[in-house]
Homo-oligomer: A and B are copies of this chain.
């Protein structure tokens, strides 16, 4: 019995899951951080993810130590982590993460990175191994399903990667944490998808004091 294929992202009320692109390598270097465009990216990203940072789970998982808030936001963050047996991500997301994740990377499962450049698996402390897949999204999904066992496969991001899986009808359900922020521009979660082929059913809707956690089942039509 294999698990579901899902994604879970935080989205601004106007539909963005990330600010306008800046070079990934600029996000995590002292030089980059003095660039106004990069500072703006950081500010907007932090506003979007503001619900997550105070949670106990987030602090634990990034190694920030004890403490943090309990409650719905924390439960959602923890449940998302616990259901996931393997993740798939695009190259750009990996590139940014490679520069920023702690040595004990926050996945603790196999992660399949879509890339055109073959590379040996990269083993991190704590159970995260990054595998580089250069033969397409179906192959990555096959490998992730096998690695996940009866847990779920998470399409981690970015938006491009999620859209590719969604458009191919490979997503069973998805969760959106809807944040009370407006971006005005950036990377849209739903972009270049064939909306006419997707039928959604709301299966969960829970508001915390900060955000709303939504889950939809995806059908075809």
Contact A13 B200, CB 8 Å, known A205-B207, A212-B214: yes
Count of this chain's copies in the oligomeric assembly: 2
How many residues of chain A have a CB within 8 Å of chain B?
A: 33
Q: Is the CB of B180 within 8 A of A178?
A: no
Complex Cα distance, B85 from A204, in Å, reads 34
Q: A209: which B residues are within 8 A, CB to CB?
A: 202
* Neighbour of A196 across the interface among B15, B184, B214, CB < 8 A: B184
- Measured between beta carbons, the chain B residues less than 8 angstroms from A79 are none
Smallest CB gap from A209: residue in B: B202
Assuming A13-B216, A14-B15, A216-B13, is B182 touching A193 (CB within 8 A)? Answer: yes
Q: Which residue of B lies closest to A190 (CB)?
A: B14
CB interface residues, A 148-194, toward B, < 8 Å: 176, 178, 180-185, 188-190, 193-194
